[in-house]
Amino acid sequence: MPPVAEAPGRAQARDRGSAPIEIVLLAPVLVLMIMLAVVGGRAASVQIEADAAAAAAARAASLQRDSATAASEAERTALASLSRRCGSPQVDIDADLTPGGTVTVTVTCTVDTTGMPSFGTRTITATAASPVDAWRAGSWS
C-alpha cells in the first residue's frame, strides 16, 4: 500500500510555532556555554600570568647572595608581575643559594568569577625553578 500524501499546507501547520520553543529551550544552554568560556578564559589568563611571575621570581631570587634577600626579591618580583585578577597571591620560595644550587618559587592565587557565583573560585598554582650560577665569585676555590 503506497504512503498517503498529506494535503499541501498541513505539514506547515503542524510546525508552526516550533522556532520560538526551540529558542526558549536552547537559550539557557547557550548562556551556560558562554559563561563557561569566560571562566575558562579568565583561568587560562591567570595561569599564564602565574607561570610568568613564578619564572621571573625564581630568576630574580637566584641572583641574590642570601636567603632573606632572595625571598624578598622573589616576592616583590612575583607580585609586580601579577594583575588584579589574581586574588590573594602567595609566593613560596625554596632556595639553595650555593653555587650550582636551585631556587624554586611557587606562586598561588585564586581566580574570582565575579558575576558568575555558581562557578565559585579557582585556585591557580605555578612553579618555576632557576639554577644558581655555578661560577659565582669565590665558588671555584
Concatenated DSSP letters of the chain = -PPPPPPTTHHHHHHTTHHHHHHHHHHHHHHHHHHHHHHHHHHHHHHHHHHHHHHHHHHHHHT-SSHHHHHHHHHHHHHHH--TTEEEEEEEEEE--STT-EEEEEEEEEEE-TT-GGG-EEEEEEEEEEEPPTT-TTTT-
Burial of 12 (C-beta count, 10 Å sphere; 0-12/13-18/19+): exposed
pLDDT, average across residues 112-132: 81
Query: Over the Cα atoms of the chain, what is R_g?
Result: 28
Q: Has this prediction a pTM greater than 0.85?
A: no
| pLDDT per position as a tens digit, 35-89 | 888 888 888 888 999 999 999 999 999 999 899 999 999 999 999 999 887 888 9
Residue written as cell 630574580? 60
**Number of other CB atoms surrounding residue 89 within 10 Å:** 20
Q: Output the pLDDT for position 10.
A: 58
Burial of 110 (C-beta count, 10 Å sphere; 0-12/13-18/19+): middle
Q: Output the pLDDT for position 4.
A: 62
